[in-house]
Amino acid sequence: MNTFLNTDLWKIGASTITVSSLLAALGFFAGGILVAWLFKRFVDRMRRYSTAEGAPAIYVAGQAGRYLIILFGFLLAGSALGIDLSSLSLFAGALGVGIGLGVQDIFKDFIAGLVLLFDRSMEVGDFIELDTGVAGEIRSVGARATTLITNDNVAVLIPNSMLISNSLTNWTRNRATRRIHVPFIVALGSDKNVVRAAALEAAEAVPFTLPDSDDRRTQVWLVGFGEYALKFELVVWPKREAVKRPGSMMAAYRWAIDDALQRHGLEIPFPQHDVRIRSFFGSEGEEGLRTWRGEHAPRPAERATKGPVGSVNDAAVEISEKQAQQDQIEAEETIREAASIMQKASTVSVDSDEEVDRKTKPRTKR
């Protein structure tokens, strides 16, 4: 048995590889793989029981630990084979040749994966969207590719280097939500106050809408005038989990808006052409109809004039509030600067008085 284990297999430089050294190297390397797998299972369990804020940091530590364990097992295997680790420059040179021959993309993806792990601009659990339109939640960052899970439960593998070199949108950066804009239209001539009330009711009816606060408030904006419609946007802050499902989120708000508009008797228009007679013998509206029927129509002086009905302009209110906050900050800074200048002036004045007293005080003869 000893003779078999000490049988020479081949030589690498000055080192002789025997059966026993080969088995020991395989054992160390397999042990490193096993320990890395167990470490991964341990880290995954910690992530399941950790908070949402701590899970990404645990994932980064787990990935770095796995790489180190595998590297340590590889070094132990090389040492068991009797290879002088100081002579690994030959291996590094061969690796450089391999990279030059076509492995550079894999090496680039590996380095990009390390950058993603430690850069923290994207973390496991973030919802990102690429320029190509692919969007999903980051499930894992591997040595070659990052796995995204779309809302249709489709796993998409993105090379790590693409996430580094291309632009993308991180919708849940820093575990925060975002404000969304839900467009909708109503018929020309609709009462803006009624439209606003209906849209706010729709937002409140959706369960994942965040309540209003000092820095987050649901609003309704009039954003344009069409040929046959008024264009509005419901500006609302949903919960973070809803942001990760943009299709379902927008569908829920549109459904609620349609229900609210129907309850308030508001019409969602469609392209049409109406022929309207603006006046009939100098009379308009109901007066023109009475003139058509031969009824008495009041003279222009008798017509009551209507003033514009006041309404809440959320977009103007938002800008005014932001301006007021900025003005308050600038006023506070001005007050602090004035107080600082006065304090310095008071200090200089006291020092001057002391200097004058010191100079005018008669000296005592000894």
In this prediction, residue 304 carries a pLDDT of 46
| pLDDT beyond 60 at 33 | yes
Token duo for residue 303 = 């017509």
In this prediction, residue 359 carries a pLDDT of 59
Residues 6+ apart with CB under 8 A from 105: 159, 161
Residue 125: closest CA among 48, 67, 238, 41: 48
d(CA 237, CA 359): 70
**Single pTM value for the model:** 0.57
Ranking 76-85, 140-149, 210-219, 339-348 by mean pLDDT, the lowest is 76-85
d(CA 9, CA 35): 29
Averaging pLDDT over each range in 102-111, 112-121, 282-291, which range is the top one?
112-121
Block residue for tokens 């020991």:
24
DSSP secondary structure string, 232-285? EEEEE-B-HHHHT-HHHHHHHHHHHHHHHHHHTT-----S--------BTTB-H
Structural domains in the chain? Answer: 2-88 (no CATH), 127-174 (2.30.30.60), 177-263 (3.30.70.100)
d(CA 61, CA 71): 15
Token duo for residue 169 = 């949108």
In this prediction, residue 112 carries a pLDDT of 84
Contact between residue 261 and residue 268 where contact means Cβ atoms under 8 Å apart: yes
| pLDDT beyond 70 at 46 | yes
C-alpha torsion 82→87→91→92, nearest 10 = 140
In this prediction, residue 164 carries a pLDDT of 85
In this prediction, residue 307 carries a pLDDT of 44
In this prediction, residue 278 carries a pLDDT of 62
* Higher pLDDT pick, 52 / 111: 111
Block residue for tokens 């291996």:
91
**Cβ density class 242-274: b for 16+ within 10 Å, e for less:** bbbbbeebbebbeebbeebbeebebeebeeeee
User: Mean pLDDT across the stretch 101-112?
Assistant: 73
| pLDDT beyond 80 at 115 | yes
Token duo for residue 331 = 């006023």
| pLDDT beyond 80 at 223 | yes
Residue 113: closest CA among 65, 70, 162: 162
The 10s digit of each residue's pLDDT in 248-300 is 899 999 999 999 999 999 988 877 666 666 665 566 667 766 766 667 655 55
d(CA 317, CA 219): 10
What's the DSSP call for residue 215?
S
User: Mean pLDDT across the stretch 215-243?
Assistant: 91
User: Mean pLDDT across the stretch 310-314?
Assistant: 71
- What letter represents residue 121's amino acid? S
User: Mean pLDDT across the stretch 32-47?
Assistant: 80
The 10s digit of each residue's pLDDT in 152-184 is 889 999 998 888 888 888 888 777 788 999 999
CA angle 145, 151, 154 (to 5 degrees): 45
| pLDDT beyond 80 at 326 | no
Give how far Cα 205 sits from Cα of 78, 221, 253, 257, 258, Å: 65, 19, 9, 9, 12
The 10s digit of each residue's pLDDT in 132-157 is 888 999 988 887 889 999 888 899 99
* Higher pLDDT pick, 134 / 305: 134
Q: Is 169 helix (H, G, I), strand (E, B) or coil?
A: strand
CA angle 184, 185, 189 (to 5 degrees): 150
Contact between residue 182 and residue 233 where contact means Cβ atoms under 8 Å apart: yes
